[in-house]
Chain A
C-alpha cells in the first residue's frame, strides 16, 4: 500500500517548549491510524502542523508525494484533507443541514458559480444523505447550537466528510460521546473507511475505541514518537505502559 501522508521530522516549538520534536511517520492508503499519548505530548500540535493551522518550525509534510508544508488549511482541504476538532466546532446559528451544505460548498464550482448559481450549491441531496447516515434526521432544520454535545460531535464528523475527503484527521471524536452513540460513530467511520476508501488518523484517549478501530497505533510522548505498532503490540509495549497506559 502506498503512503497517502508522509511526515518527515516535523518540529514545532513555542518559546522554549518543543511541543513536537522531530516526528516522522507515514499513513498508508485506506488505513485507520490511531494516535495516542498523554495530555500535552504534542498530538494536537502535530495535527495543526500537518493541516497548515500552525507553521512547523522544521520538517516536511507530503500528500501523495507532493510537498504541502506551508499550504493554508483551506487549500489542503481542497486537496482532500479534512479534519474534526477536539473542542466543538460547528456553526451554531446555522441549521444542521446548512452546516453540512457549508461544509461541502467550496468543493463545488468556483467563486463565480457560487455567487450566481444555486443557493444550496446543489448539495441539499448530499446533505440529506449525510444527515440520514449519521441519524440526525429529526434535527435537520434545528440550529446546530441547540444540539446536545454528542449530536454536535456527530455533526462535526459528518461535516468533515461532506467534501468527499481522502484523508481525515479526527481529534478525539469519542470525547464526551455516550456509549451507544459512540458505537454508532465507530460503525459510521468503518463504513466510510471501507466504502469510500477514506484514510483516517484518529487521536483518542478511549483505548477500547482505538484498539477496536485502528490497524496501527502511533504512541507519542514528550513531542516524539514512542512506538508505531499493531494495537495488540502497543498494549504489551513496556515503554508505552510506562508513559501512557499505566500498570
Chain B
C-alpha cells in the first residue's frame, strides 16, 4: 500500500494544481472573485494555523493583521507604489506588530491569551476607523489599483486570480519548508509540552514570539492581496468577526494539519455560496453543518482522515508485531 501512496499523492497534488489553473478559465467574474477570496483567506488561515495549530498559541487577532496588510497595501498602491513593495511593507509591519503581540503569550495562555488578542483586534479596528487622516476612516480607501506583473496588467478577474494563486503557492511552499525545519519541530514542542521543551534547550520565548510574528506576517500578506482584490476597503471587514472566521477555518479544516487551512477556507468561503440556493436558510444550514462537523470530529476534517490512517497503521503494526513475536518464540 505504502509503495503506491507517494506517487498517488503526487498525482493528486498535480491534478489539484492543474485544476486550480485550468478550470477557472471558464468562470464568470463572480466565480473568480470567490476563488480569489479563497486563495487570500487560505494564506491568512495558514498563518493562524502556524500560530495556533502548530505552536499552540491562541490568537483572535488574525483578522486585524489582514487589516494591517490591507491598509498598508491600499495606502501605498494608491500613492503610486508597486504592489510587491507594498507586500514587503505589509509583511514587515505585521511581523513587527505580531512580535510585540507575542509578548503577552509569554505570560498568559489559552483563554486569557485569547482575550488579550481579542482586545488587540478591537484596538486595531478602532485605529482603522478613527485615524481617518491615514485610513480614510469610515469612508475607507477606494480605487485601489491592481498590479502590473512583468508588464502584464491584472485588472481583469482572471489575471488577478492567478496573482492570488501564485502568491498562495509561494506562501504554501514557504510554510511547508518552515514546518519541516527544526523550527517547525520547536513550534510543535511549544504546543505539546513547553516545560519539557525548555529543558531540552529550546528557547521557548524566542520561538513563541517567532510563531506569533510569522503567523501575523502571513495575515499581512493576505491583507495586501485583499485590498487590490476588492479594490475598496473600509474598517468593517477587518473587525473581530474576520478573526473568528479565520479561527473557524483553521479549526474546521484541522488545526496543526498542513492542508487544514486550504480546506477550512474552502468551507468558509465556498460552502455559503453553494448553499445560496436555499435562500434565506443558507447561513443557518452553514452554521448547523459546522456544528455537526465539530461534534463528529473535534480535530476538524483532516482529523477524520488522520484517525482512519492511524487506525490502519495500528492494524498493520500489530500484525507485524504478531509475526515478529511468533518468530521470536520459534527461535527460543
Contact = CB atoms under 8 A, between A and B. Distances in A.
Q: Do A and B come from one complex?
A: yes
A60 interface: no
A53 B200 contact: no
A138 interface: yes
B200 A77 contact: yes
Interface string B173-201: 00000101111011011001101111111
Given A111-B206, A142-B317, A53 B198 contact: yes
A112 to B, nearest CB: 10
Contact of A72 (B189, B198, B200, B321): B198
A106 B202 contact: yes
A51 B201 CA distance: 11
B192 A159 contact: no
A92 B192 contact: yes
Interface string B282-297: 0000000000000000
Contact of B189 (A91, A107, A115): A91
Chief secondary structure at chain B's binding surface: helix
Interface of A: 51, 53, 72-74, 77-78, 82-83, 85, 89-94, 98, 101-103, 105-108, 111, 114-117, 119, 121, 138, 142, 146, 159, 162-163
Contacts of B321: 138
Contacts, number: 92
Contacts of A92: 192
Contacts of B180: 119
17 contacts: A73-B199, A74-B200, A74-B201, A77-B198, A77-B200, A82-B199, A83-B199, A85-B196, A90-B193, A91-B188, A91-B189, A91-B193, A98-B185, A101-B182, A102-B186, A105-B185, A146-B314
B324 interface: yes
| 7 residue pairs, one from A and one from B, having the closest CB atoms | A106-B201, A77-B201, A73-B198, A114-B182, A89-B196, A91-B192, A105-B182
Contacts of A105: 182, 185-186
Given A105-B185, A114-B183, A89 B206 contact: no
Contacts of A108: 182
Contacts of B185: 94, 98, 101-102, 105
Nearest to B203: A74
Q: In the complex, which range does the number of interface residues on chain B fall in? A: 20 to 34
A218 B180 CA distance: 44
A117 B184 CA distance: 12
A138 B324 contact: yes
A93 B192 contact: yes
A77 to B, nearest CB: 4
A130 B178 CA distance: 26
A159 B201 CA distance: 11
A182 B192 CA distance: 27
A163 B178 CA distance: 23
Contacts of A114: 181-183, 186
A168 B6 CA distance: 41
B189 A102 contact: yes
A89 B192 CA distance: 10
A119 B189 CA distance: 15
Contact of B204 (A74, A85, A98): A74
A107 B198 CA distance: 13
A91 B198 contact: no
A115 B182 CA distance: 7
Contacts of B204: 74
Interface in B151-189: 178, 180-183, 185-186, 188-189
A115 B193 CA distance: 21
Nearest to A51: B199
A106 B200 contact: yes
A102 B197 CA distance: 8
B200 A103 contact: yes
Max count, chain A CB within 10 A of own CB: residue among B180, B182, B324: B182
Nearest to B206: A111
B201 A91 contact: no
B258 to A, nearest CB: 14
Given A102-B185, A119-B181, A90 B317 contact: no
A162 B186 CA distance: 15
A62 B189 CA distance: 29
